[in-house]
Structure 1
Amino acid sequence: MRAFLPSASNEVKTLLAQLAEPADRVGPEAYRSAMGGVGEALAGAYRDRLTGVGRLLLICTNEDADFLARGVLRGLDAIGGVAVRVACFWNERESIAGPTSGVRVELAPVVRRYVEPGEVDAFLVVKSIISSSCVVRTNITELVYEHAPARVLVFAPVVLKGADAKLAQEFEPAVASRFEFYWYAEDDEKRGDDVVPGIGGQVYERLGLGTQKDKNRYTPELVCERRRMPV
């Protein structure tokens, strides 16, 4: 069952419903547009949580960069007053058996990264859905000890119930205490790897980026644009 937060407007609920529709009803272009709209709305809905943050590092995956993350950046531009740097990670998810227990362990090693230099006050981690949390955990771990941000804000349109607490438990208390989670919808059902209704399956496939290997060959336009910007 899906539970909405009060911050989810009717427009946002419509966008989330689009994301949950099957691929034969909502193709890649419409799905991309909905992701961008949700990202922009997230930044607007939670703008007051950014009070006092002067330097922000937005952290995203390469499949989210041109759509959800770009939407968040549009929303941040409208707020103003925040200097934003960007970090983008290419992750390759894999499931392996534990060496002694045989229990499957989810991993998401980084195969490529783009990180803009500079000091930051806070992380803004943008992810299309928080479920197993292995990708988000990996990407935060890559940078959190290097930058030591005072706050780690996690923005996602949808979370699986309990996934926020599970993610925080992956870190030592001194780091976990900095986490703040902001979303629109919480789902409590999972079928296989997919949250129901979630975001309609594997995001990179829904975005038209192909398989996991295909999407890891994809360089987001956002990264290309940022590379061309003067330092």
Structure 2
Amino acid sequence: MNVFKKIFSVLSCNDTLVFKNTHLLDCSDTEISTPVGNILPLLLEHKSKVSDHPVHFELLKQLIDRLTSDQSIVRLNHVGFCYKVSSQEKEKERLKELIKQTEFHVYQEMSSDDGLWLFIGDTSKWEEALIELLPVEKTKDRWVDYWLPHMHIDIDTTFTAQEIENRVRSILNTSIKPYLITIDGIVYVVRNYLGSIDGVNIYLDLATRSRNVQFARQHLLTRITKINPSG
């Protein structure tokens, strides 16, 4: 599972694509450590039926280098993990309990799909990256056993959706069409498939300039954990 470590190593060639607070995420050869523990067991408990597909690290690096030279990368927005659970509410309470021993908080955003949208970090520093956890309990989506579980790296850019697609197409040259995350006719994120490793799908989400990160952090995320005595 050191593929995750390799991905973050590639991203680190641009210093805006690393966590400023290293306590939020750390990858080793065997773990993805976060303030609520190792995420890998959550991902591996219910593996995707998608056949493994290797991540092409050289192409990923070329894409990051191109976006860097374009001066289109703004920041690492978040790294997300979507996984299946038997109870969303129990999972939320478990995460809230674990976070009490840390300097961080759990935030919730109103969800428009079957997953809970939970974030870990500190939104008072709105420019800094967060961890997103998306536990899914029930869904009518017949493809759920294929798209779950997954990890996505979300990067803010200054580009339009078309500019992002053009860059991705010219470098990754994938037959899998990017998925456009669209709200009210506006494309906010272009999701690009990187590969599937040991039953875990991996995506690179490139956000368009239409997304207002400061507004989202300050108005759309609701803290659901209390402030602890140390902060």
TM-score by length of 2: 0.26
TM-score by length of 1: 0.26
Structure 1 or 2: more helix by fraction: 1
